[in-house]
Amino acid sequence: MRALSYTRPWAELVVGGFKDIENRPWTTDYRGRVLVHAAKSWDHEALDFAEIVEAQLGRNLGVRDVPRAAADHPTGILGTVELLDICSVTIDPRRSCRCSPWAVDGQHHWQLGNFRRFAAPIPCRGALGLWRVPADIAAAIEREVARG
């Protein structure tokens, strides 16, 4: 089982289905289910940026309803998303991309879909990169996924 760690509240924006692009400086051949891990770190500007993107989209995604306090955002594995594809157009500075308002020039745009939040976060330490969860955590996640 593969996972990506996110600074909070980015993990919430991803698993909640608000953010459909993950910008990373690297790419991968992997496609499929990815666990969304919320790290202990906090980005104070993330929700303000998310509101700007929401306005650019011209529709209410509910970003304003996301809690603003770090204490309201749990750590651990919050749920899953599916890595559908990766757009690398803007790695070439002469090109631009219209994947999503979330797409940042100069990054690989990981296109996400099929967002699923778990009933409760599953405690787990994070890691850098696209990492594999320990076997005991994977078993707990399998049980959560089986519950539907």
Query: For position 93, what pLDDT does the model report?
Result: 67
Whether the predicted model's global pTM rises above the 0.85 cut:
yes
* Domains contained in the chain, number: 1
Query: For position 23, what pLDDT does the model report?
Result: 93
At residue 44 the predicted structure's pLDDT band, cuts being 50, 70 and 90, is: very high
Residues 6+ apart with CB under 8 A from 29: none
30: left (phi over 0), alpha (psi -120 to 50) or beta: beta
Q: What is the CATH number of the domain that holds 93?
A: 2.30.130.30
At residue 97 the predicted structure's pLDDT band, cuts being 50, 70 and 90, is: confident
In percent, how much of the chain has pLDDT > 70?
Answer: 95
Q: How far apart are CA 93 and CA 66, in angstroms?
A: 34
Task: Identify the domain containing residue 9 by its residue range.
Answer: 2-147
Query: For position 140, what pLDDT does the model report?
Result: 85
How, if at all, do strands 32-42 and 108-122 pair? unpaired
* DSSP 8-state symbol, 121: E
Task: Yes or no: say if 120 and 73 are a contact pair by the CB < 8 Å rule.
Answer: no
Task: Yes or no: say if 86 and 27 are a contact pair by the CB < 8 Å rule.
Answer: yes
φ, ψ of residue 19 to 5 degrees: the values are -110, 115
Residue 18: exposure state from Cβ atoms within 10 A (0-12, 13-18, ≥19) = buried
Q: How far apart are CA 133 and CA 77, in angstroms?
A: 10
